[in-house]
């Protein structure tokens, strides 16, 4: 690579993607040739167990503009994106998936919007979820509507991690020190002007999605906890309501005792109340625990990823 900073850095996290890399690279350089500027690619091997690292080594040896980082194990897509963003030298920076679900053909338009100076970031969103399991779409929609109601930021429905930003935006993103990085929420939190591009869902070129339903569910919890303290408020409100209800119940029992003596009945209702209350208690302690766990990981100050090998930047 020459010493001049590239015009555009493209960051691509890869987890077991040996089949997708050549397809992606071929497609990307074909389209990005239109831009006629210097472009660097930063591939992040997120602890793949297939041939991904070897393919990246080869690609980097053949092409000056290809850089790669390889993690010591799988640290997750957020960590991979962060590592790439921290090393990007470009005047403009794009992040995208490798499976061609994020069409490289959108990059020239996105670049135009940001390079014009009118916008600091270009984001993309899917306008449909065709080809996705119904249950996954259902929970995804619930997640977006929950975030809309209960957090201070607005996460655009269907927003992808396919973005293009200028350096000002990147530096603001990197200035955030938190370890639980939920970038879908961090980006809107930063503010600035974002132009949205819409496209319809495209199937993966090769391989399968790396996100199981459980992994996505946990990821959505991360998002909720990172950007909303409403679950804690809900827990408190539940506590107050239960307290009021129990107060009324106590009054009722006392009055009944005074008026009708103390007949031994109400066993079933007692058990129901005990079960209900202990359920609510466990639920609310669970919410507390989730926040505590996040505080715990933040205080440990562990690095978000560990690099085992990378192509040296010149
Ligand atoms: N990915 C990653 N680490 C992971 C999971 C995924 O770097 O732990 C990468 C993956 O290689 C791909 C991108 O993140 O480039 C998106 O993954 P995928 O296509 O499986 O997600 P989906 O498009 O189904 O949301
Ligand atoms: Mg994908």
Tokens of 76: 């997750």
What tens digit of pLDDT does each residue of 195-238 get? 999 888 777 767 777 777 788 888 888 888 888 888 888 888 88
Place 15 in a pLDDT band, splitting at 50, 70 and 90: very high
- For residue 75, the ligand 1 atom closest to its alpha carbon is 8
Q: What is the dihedral of CA 278, 284, 290, 293, to 10 degrees?
A: -70
Place 2 in a pLDDT band, splitting at 50, 70 and 90: very low
Over residues 62-90, the mean pLDDT reads: 94
What tens digit of pLDDT does each residue of 253-277 get? 888 888 887 666 777 778 878 888 8
pLDDT attached to residue 210: 73
Please tell me the least confidently modeled range out of 56-60, 61-65, 258-262, 278-282.
258-262
- For residue 15, the ligand 1 atom closest to its alpha carbon is 11
Of 75, 257, 223, 232, nearest in space to 142 by CA: 223
- For residue 96, the ligand 1 atom closest to its alpha carbon is 15
Look up the pTM and report it.
Answer: 0.82
Computed over every residue of the chain, the mean pLDDT equals 87
> CB under 6 Å to ligand 1: residues?
13-15, 17, 46, 74, 76-77, 80, 97-99, 101, 209-211
Place 11 in a pLDDT band, splitting at 50, 70 and 90: very high
Q: At what angle do helices 183-190 and 213-227 cross, to 10 degrees?
A: 30
């Amino acid at each position: 690579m020459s010493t001049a900073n590239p015009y555009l850095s493209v960051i691509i996290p890869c987890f077991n993607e040996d089949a997708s890399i050549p397809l992606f690279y071929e497609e990307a350089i074909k389209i990005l040739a239109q831009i006629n500027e210097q472009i660097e690619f930063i591939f992040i091997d997120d602890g793949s167990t297939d041939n991904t690292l070897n393919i990246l080594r080869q690609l980097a040896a053949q092409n000056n503009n290809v850089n790669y980082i390889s993690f010591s194990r799988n640290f997750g897509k957020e960590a991979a994106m962060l590592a790439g963003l921290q090393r990007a030298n470009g005047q403009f920076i794009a992040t995208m998936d490798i499976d061609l679900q994020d069409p490289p053909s959108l990059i020239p338009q996105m670049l135009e919007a940001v390079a014009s100076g009118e916008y600091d970031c270009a984001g993309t969103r899917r306008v449909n979820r065709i080809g996705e399991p119904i249950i996954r779409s259902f929970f995804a929609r619930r997640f977006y509507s929950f975030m809309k109601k209960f957090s201070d930021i607005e996460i655009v429905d269907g927003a992808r991690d396919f973005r293009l930003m200028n350096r000002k935006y990147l530096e603001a993103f990197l200035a955030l020190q938190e370890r639980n990085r939920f970038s879908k929420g961090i980006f809107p939190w930063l503010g600035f002007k974002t132009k949205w591009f819409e496209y319809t869902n495209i199937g993966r070129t090769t391989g399968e999605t790396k996100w199981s339903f459980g992994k996505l569910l946990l990821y959505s919890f991360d998002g909720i906890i990172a950007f909303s303290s409403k679950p804690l408020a809900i827990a408190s409100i539940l506590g107050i309501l239960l307290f009021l209800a129990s107060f009324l119940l106590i009054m009722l029992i006392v009055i009944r005792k005074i008026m009708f003596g103390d007949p031994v009945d109400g066993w079933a209702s007692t058990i129901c109340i005990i079960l209900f209350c202990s359920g609510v208690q466990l639920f609310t302690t669970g919410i507390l625990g989730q926040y505590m766990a996040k505080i715990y990981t933040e205080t440990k100050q562990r690095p978000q990823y560990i690099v085992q090998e990378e192509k040296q930047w010149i």
